[in-house]
Structure 1
């Protein structure tokens, strides 16, 4: 083997480190001729010596021109060796060039790109053992501040991709490790380079990058928030292409490893990231199915607040969240309710109901109407599909659900009432003991029915404005959902234990008005009016006992049920009751009610004077209670229409008018009425004394 200095002539060596590119190129051509000659003579050691000299004396030199000469000389060696002879010398050729690729001089970095391109172009697939080093160098070169270097790296990048696509033994797992290690970079050029590689790898039929998706999906969503519009668009296109591939091969995707990534980005502050993550979540729910249910709490925590984006600027986000929510709801079916063969831990693992309830409870107090509506629909759906498991945690959400009845949105209140109705009649709760006075309803109610009504009455008691504004709306809806009999029966039973007489009187007044006027209670009114069964009589008694808190409401109930004799007896007792302005106002409203279509039957009964003595006496008693007002004139004119001849011929008889209800002990009811009214009198006296004491204390404090 000859010495390196003897192989390359001094003249060529001088030209190789000349500052002019043309002279260095001439020297490179001479080296190329020399290497061809050595290769033809199989002088491998001499070739290695020349390459070593180029590395030691030139590419590693402190002289920039020498380094440039070394780079072009190494490329000339590769070209001269050709694809057949270059392989044994690749390490000596590639490594020195890679060192120069990070040189401080941008021109040297550019020539390093050019040299690498020529070496790789010759060796092609034989450079694959050096792929890691080449990829690492490309990652840096594509982010080079010098545009010429970046352009040079683009050529090398395309060449390397061509080789990879042709190489059947390409190690994709190794490549993905390299890519994932670098993908969290903030450099825009590097981000673009890495996304281009992802798109390229995804386009190669023999390569399936979906297996590695959990390792880089999070980073792609981070890149989606890049300040550069171009990078964002590039990233969006990458995500769209990957999602299309997921549609084609869902069986190869590990959905469970990526759900939490999407949950995070669905809550991003960047709307562009949020909407794309939500669209991915929607597709994951459809493609993965029940697999994602174990992440229910996180998914709901991401979807529910996003539903609040209702303005036109965020329409896409709202629609994506809405669609995802609908798809997700469909996954929860009866199969996830209590199953005897599965342990509680297994059931919670498949669908963590407890965690879901906590999320729903939190978002039930959200400011957005759309979010609250979605939450209520979720609770209703769970009560329908998995009632037994839902009831394990229902106490945690019950009060929050009740409090939504105070919401300003009618839709929220309506849905909350439907949800509460489902809760009160769900098979998941312990059954409420049946009442004998139920005439028409076959609905089986549970203990939460009474709990709901108790809580509702307390809400009315604590918030007078809520009671005045919402009582009729809520009660009428509940009567439709849970049967009016059930609502009024339990209300009456609860009210019997009420200590606040003022509240009891007002709430009875409201419930009575609803009973008398609302179309939702037509059937109950008819049952009470006809009193054709024992159950109807018992229902009358139940209502009567609580209606006694309001004398005028009691009279209207008795008139409705056609118990005219007892009504007359009650009216005579009014002489013992304090007549106030409010009391007279209620009687005034009763007269208006008697003129309404509800009491048409009663007005017609007035024509039968001989058989409705007590009814007529009731009307005259009401007339005597009224001051001479408009209502007085209305009732007086009505009574003036009675047949005068029959009225004058009426004699005292023992025959009772109205319904004949032998099951009712009216004497006992009258005693109960008197007892309740005495309680009201005592309550008023107590309140008056209490107010007087407070006034005395306030006066003493002022004087001191």
Structure 2
């Protein structure tokens, strides 16, 4: 440089340095015109070494900056080949301690970028990094200068980032100022790398996205929005690289940062939905096109076979219309490019970030945004969300018990959407792949059930018992829900669901860990999920020998009744869809739990038994518990359990059906082998006097049915023995009017009942009358004697009464019937049969009354 320019650039006054820069600009323009590139390179090296890099001479650095800017302006179109020399010293000045140096560096780079335009994008990463730091500068003038430079760089990026290729990348024999046609150059540039590269920029953005300064965060969000607005860049493809940092921006106390970040995330989500909709539409269009092609081939085949008899004109019209439709479809598919149709979105990486943020210490807004994205993804690409179900559930269900209502509602919405999608999945592909391995097993289950039912009598033939036992849980599912597991679906949509991506074991583990959560809503939701998963895939969920079963048993001690109810529902479902061994083990473990935790037995015992009876067969529960209690060595505990079971059996509304069956059918147990001892006790009425009364009471309560007839016949067969051993009670006479007003339907039983009071009174009156008639010694007045004797014989002969003579009548107290001699021995002349004396006895009795 000229000595005068050198002196002016070192001056501490800005105006003099500006004059020196103008002189330098004029000199360089002359050198450019004369193409003295060596002299230009020497001047630039002098500006960098003696001025821009003079760290301890601030005025020299300022002079060097303004000199480099002037040189860039003077170089004009020749600037690209010198940018590698000009830009680095300017960027180095951004880190100077003097605020004025930093400001003049912004000013110099601004002027350089205005001339370089797209070429400056080769240094975009370094410029972006410097601007990111200057955006949080403490000096206001520096921040203003950086803001002006930032606007200029944004304009250049928006205009040239997607397509600009540096001239240095072009063919060396093509000069910059060539006026020849550039078709070939354009073709060559199409294969050359652009000056701006997202691949080189994203690592820097990923590094800077976790800053905490609000000004820097605002700067970053602005750049992300700008880059996303350029369609050809497809920034959404790299969204997983910086999404986590953006979600953290939502927790910034600065409102401007929050608003800008929320807008940016909304923009990305809308773009993802639009791209998914476009790609889905293109896929459906291709399927419809393929369907039309198949239809056309079918029509051609049918035309060739002569099955359609249309006129030639009609056929030509149909073919031409089909051809036009195909051409239009091909044109729309091949020629018309729709923005976003080829964009690849990494849903998996995005979901990993979203599920990770659910567990992080985000504030309300960050958590809400993550939940909102998951809900939208369940609508956009549910098959991508499915593999993340265990992680989502582990953090989603605790959010359902959040103290913030908005978070609770958002979590409930995600939970509902996710559960609906999992429920919509089908197991039909697995059925169709191996049908032979399941259907024989199903038949085996039926045979097993038949053998079990024939081994012991069942109180009910309800359909629920058919679902109780099955060799494997998977086969039981086929029994209980045949429509879902064995019936083919009308469409093949279910085959497209990637159900295999759902890790049932991981999901069950995540849900089981939530049993320890402090919130009732979370525990209830976890059990609800387990119930649904087990109903859907019992072969894959909750086996007896895994670690889940003890956790379910322990949950029965939960303080919440809703949790215990859900837990019992799940245990019942597992038992219903499993083998008998599982149910037996469940009952044994339940009794052990009651035995060790007496407080649980006192507080939740009745609830547990009743809920199990609602979900399972009450008869099966009582049978199994009875077998277990019979083997119980702790007599006190067995007594308590029996008492609880009896109380529930008598009073619980859940056991109403079992009570009805017991009342209607179970009196037939008298005929079963287990009650042989009871039937034998009927032969010993002196030892068991109340047994007859109890059984007759049951007979009175029963309606006329097969049970009534069985009990009546059994009692009639031993009634004579009972009458011989049952003594009458004095003073327990029955009014005569009520004894003859019995319904006719009990007539058979009335014949076997003796009216002791009336008969004894009648016996005494007849004996007294006979003595009076025999005193005069004349038989002429004894016409009624035989009739009276017949009456006595008749009445006494109807029962097991007996008399020993007239002396027995003189004894005032009543004696047992077995000691009373029969009337037939006292009056042997009465030898007629029972039917004749039945009629005469009635008449004689009437005459005797008239005589009295």
TM-score by length of 1: 0.69
* Residues 625-674 of structure 1: CA deviation (Å, up to 9, x unaligned): xxxxxxxxxxxxxx99999843999989499xxxxxxxxxxxxxxxxxxx
Change over 3 Å in CA distance of 1:212–1:570 after alignment to 2: farther
In the alignment of these two chains, the number of paired residues is 556
User: What is the correspondence of 1:449-598 to structure 2 with a 5 Å cutoff?
Assistant: 449-531=583-665, 537=668
Aligned: 1:278 with 2:381? no
**Distance in 2 (alpha carbons) for counterparts of 1:641 and 1:257:** 93
Aligned: 1:395 with 2:546? yes
- Contact residue 10 and residue 17 of structure 2 kept, 8 A: yes
**Distance in 2 (alpha carbons) for counterparts of 1:353 and 1:604:** 54
- Contact residue 294 and residue 351 of structure 1 kept, 8 A: yes
Q: Partner residue of 1:412?
A: 563
Q: Partner residue of 1:621?
A: none
Aligned: 1:322 with 2:473? no
Change over 3 Å in CA distance of 1:41–1:513 after alignment to 2: same
- Contact residue 338 and residue 386 of structure 1 kept, 8 A: no
Change over 3 Å in CA distance of 1:242–1:641 after alignment to 2: farther
- Contact residue 65 and residue 90 of structure 2 kept, 8 A: yes
**Distance in 2 (alpha carbons) for counterparts of 1:246 and 1:196:** 19
Change over 3 Å in CA distance of 1:393–1:20 after alignment to 2: farther
Post-superposition offset of 1:52:
3.0
**1:140 maps to which of 133, 147, 150:** 133
User: What is the correspondence of 1:365-380 to structure 2 with a 5 Å cutoff?
Assistant: 365-380=516-531
- Contact residue 489 and residue 539 of structure 1 kept, 8 A: no
Aligned: 1:110 with 2:103? yes
Higher-Rg structure is 2
Change over 3 Å in CA distance of 1:419–1:538 after alignment to 2: farther
**1:63 maps to which of 40, 44, 57:** 57
User: What is the correspondence of 1:625-704 to structure 2 with a 5 Å cutoff?
Assistant: 645-646=738-739, 653=752
Aligned: 1:90 with 2:83? yes
**1:53 maps to which of 38, 43, 46:** 46
**Distance in 2 (alpha carbons) for counterparts of 1:652 and 1:265:** 88
Change over 3 Å in CA distance of 1:92–1:140 after alignment to 2: same
> RMSD between aligned alpha carbons?
4.2
Aligned: 1:30 with 2:23? yes
User: What is the correspondence of 1:145-544 to structure 2 with a 5 Å cutoff?
Assistant: 145-167=138-160, 168=163, 169=194, 170-226=196-252, 228-250=254-276, 252-272=344-364, 273-309=366-402, 311=403, 314-332=404-422, 333-335=425-427, 350-392=501-543, 395-426=546-577, 429-430=578-579, 432=580, 447-531=581-665, 537=668
**Distance in 2 (alpha carbons) for counterparts of 1:464 and 1:119:** 86
- Contact residue 542 and residue 548 of structure 2 kept, 8 A: no
**Distance in 2 (alpha carbons) for counterparts of 1:297 and 1:526:** 46
- Contact residue 248 and residue 362 of structure 2 kept, 8 A: no
Post-superposition offset of 1:458:
2.9
**Distance in 1 (alpha carbons) for counterparts of 2:367 and 2:553:** 32
Post-superposition offset of 1:165:
1.7
- Contact residue 195 and residue 235 of structure 1 kept, 8 A: yes
* Residues 528-573 of structure 1: CA deviation (Å, up to 9, x unaligned): 21228xxx8469979999xx9xxxxxxxxx9xxxx9x98x999959
Change over 3 Å in CA distance of 1:321–1:571 after alignment to 2: farther
Post-superposition offset of 1:204:
1.1
Post-superposition offset of 1:20:
2.0
5+ long unaligned stretches in structure 2? 164-193, 280-343, 435-497, 692-696, 716-731, 743-748, 755-852
- Contact residue 17 and residue 24 of structure 1 kept, 8 A: yes
* Residues 13-46 of structure 1: CA deviation (Å, up to 9, x unaligned): 3333222222222332333333334434444444
Q: Partner residue of 2:438?
A: none
Q: Partner residue of 2:302?
A: none
Change over 3 Å in CA distance of 1:539–1:21 after alignment to 2: farther
Post-superposition offset of 1:243:
2.4
Q: Partner residue of 2:783?
A: none
The 3-state SS of whatever aligns with 1:154 is helix
**Distance in 2 (alpha carbons) for counterparts of 1:570 and 1:227:** 95
* Residues 414-433 of structure 1: CA deviation (Å, up to 9, x unaligned): 2222212211112xx33x3x
- Contact residue 493 and residue 542 of structure 1 kept, 8 A: no
* Residues 213-246 of structure 1: CA deviation (Å, up to 9, x unaligned): 2222233334444454543443343333222222
**Distance in 2 (alpha carbons) for counterparts of 1:421 and 1:283:** 35
Post-superposition offset of 1:463:
3.3
Change over 3 Å in CA distance of 1:43–1:466 after alignment to 2: same
- Contact residue 132 and residue 175 of structure 1 kept, 8 A: yes
**Distance in 2 (alpha carbons) for counterparts of 1:334 and 1:69:** 75
Change over 3 Å in CA distance of 1:233–1:323 after alignment to 2: same
Change over 3 Å in CA distance of 1:417–1:526 after alignment to 2: same
Change over 3 Å in CA distance of 1:192–1:339 after alignment to 2: farther
* Residues 399-428 of structure 1: CA deviation (Å, up to 9, x unaligned): 2212322323222222222212211112xx
Q: Partner residue of 1:666?
A: none
**Distance in 2 (alpha carbons) for counterparts of 1:206 and 1:641:** 110
Change over 3 Å in CA distance of 1:573–1:115 after alignment to 2: farther
Q: Partner residue of 1:16?
A: 9
**Distance in 1 (alpha carbons) for counterparts of 2:246 and 2:47:** 43
The 3-state SS of whatever aligns with 2:264 is helix
- Contact residue 336 and residue 351 of structure 1 kept, 8 A: no
**Distance in 1 (alpha carbons) for counterparts of 2:125 and 2:93:** 17
- Contact residue 528 and residue 537 of structure 1 kept, 8 A: no
- Contact residue 489 and residue 542 of structure 1 kept, 8 A: no
Post-superposition offset of 1:149:
1.3
**Distance in 2 (alpha carbons) for counterparts of 1:602 and 1:241:** 79
Change over 3 Å in CA distance of 1:235–1:172 after alignment to 2: same
TM-score by length of 2: 0.58
Post-superposition offset of 1:385:
0.7
Change over 3 Å in CA distance of 1:541–1:370 after alignment to 2: farther
**Distance in 2 (alpha carbons) for counterparts of 1:257 and 1:40:** 55
Change over 3 Å in CA distance of 1:604–1:52 after alignment to 2: closer
Post-superposition offset of 1:518:
3.0
Aligned: 1:124 with 2:117? yes
- Contact residue 337 and residue 385 of structure 1 kept, 8 A: no
- Contact residue 584 and residue 624 of structure 2 kept, 8 A: yes
More displaced 10-residue stretch of structure 1: 104-113 or 135-144: 135-144
**2:68 maps to which of 60, 67, 74:** 74
The 3-state SS of whatever aligns with 1:388 is coil
The 3-state SS of whatever aligns with 1:367 is coil
* Residues 113-135 of structure 1: CA deviation (Å, up to 9, x unaligned): 01001110111012222223322
* Residues 160-217 of structure 1: CA deviation (Å, up to 9, x unaligned): 1211122213322112122223333444433332222212111111121222122222
**Distance in 1 (alpha carbons) for counterparts of 2:674 and 2:358:** 53
**Distance in 2 (alpha carbons) for counterparts of 1:96 and 1:302:** 51
Change over 3 Å in CA distance of 1:179–1:331 after alignment to 2: same
* Residues 418-464 of structure 1: CA deviation (Å, up to 9, x unaligned): 212211112xx33x3xxxxxxxxxxxxxx322222223333333333
